[in-house]
C-alpha cells in the first residue's frame, strides 16, 4: 500500500504522481490535501501520513515545496524513517540501506520527470537486510523507545 499526501505547494505534483502510480496498477491512497488550499499546513498531512504508514506497515510519499518541511514533520512520528530525495540514487540508498518507509519530494526544485524516477526507484528497491543496516535501524528504534 502506498500512501501519498502534499500541502498546497506539492498539490499539483501529488496529483500527477497519483496518476502515474494508478497507471502502473499500484494501490495508492490519497490522504490529502484533496483540494488546493494556500492556507493548509504541511505538518497536518505529514503526521497523518506517518501514522498511517507505521500502523499499516506501508510506504508513504510526501510532497511540499522544498521537501524539507514534510520530512522534518513526518520524522517526528515514531517508526517513520523518511528521507528527502532529490536524486534517484538517494532513493535507492535510502531503501536499501535504511529501509526508508516515507519518501519526501520537493515540487519547487526537482523537475517532474526526475521526481517520477525517484518515486519509481523508491518503490522498486528492497531493503538490503545486511546485518549492519539492521543494527543501525535497531539503534534508531531503541532511541525512539527511550524518548518520552
pLDDT in tens, 64-112: 999 999 999 999 999 999 999 999 999 999 999 999 999 999 999 999 9
**Which triple of cell numbers denotes residue 24?**
502502473
Whether 64 is catalytic? yes
Evaluate if residue 119 carries a pLDDT over 90: yes
**Which triple of cell numbers denotes residue 135?**
543494527
Residue with grid cell 488550499, as numbered in its chain: 37
Q: What is the pLDDT of residue 4?
A: 98
Q: Closest Cα to residue 46, out of 57, 32, 58, 59?
A: 32
Catalytic residue among 24, 64, 71, 104: 64
Evaluate if residue 138 carries a pLDDT over 90: yes
Q: What is the pLDDT of residue 147?
A: 82
Domains and CATH numbers, the chain: 2-146 (3.40.1400.10)
| Residue 60 near residue 103 (C-beta atoms within 8 A) | yes
- What's the distance, Cα to Cα, between the start and end of the chain in Å? 30
Tell me if the pTM is above 0.95: yes
pLDDT in tens, 13-66: 999 999 999 999 999 999 999 999 999 999 999 999 999 999 999 999 999 999
pLDDT band at residue 148, thresholds of 50, 70 and 90? low
DSSP 126: P
Amino acid at each position: 500500500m502506498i500512501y501519498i499526501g502534499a500541502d498546497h505547494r506539492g498539490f499539483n505534483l501529488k496529483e500527477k504522481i497519483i496518476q502515474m502510480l494508478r497507471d502502473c496498477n499500484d494501490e495508492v491512497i490519497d490522504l490529502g490535501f484533496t483540494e488546493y488550499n494556500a492556507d493548509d499546513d504541511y505538518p497536518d498531512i505529514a503526521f497523518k501520513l506517518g501514522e498511517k504508514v507505521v500502523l499499516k506497515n506501508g510506504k508513504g510519499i510526501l510532497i511540499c515545496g522544498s521537501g524539507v518541511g514534510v520530512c522534518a514533520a513526518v520524522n517526528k512520528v515514531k517508526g517513520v524513517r523518511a528521507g528527502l530525495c532529490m536524486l534517484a540514487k538517494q532513493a535507492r540508498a535510502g531503501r536499501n540501506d535504511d529501509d526508508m518507509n516515507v519518501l519526501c519530494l520537493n515540487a519547487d526544485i526537482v523537475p517532474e520527470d526526475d521526481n517520477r524516477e525517484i518515486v519509481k526507484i523508491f518503490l522498486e528497491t528492497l531493503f538490503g537486510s545486511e546485518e549492519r543496516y539492521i543494527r543501525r535501524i535497531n539503534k534508531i528504534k531503541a532511541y525512539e523507545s527511550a524518548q518520552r
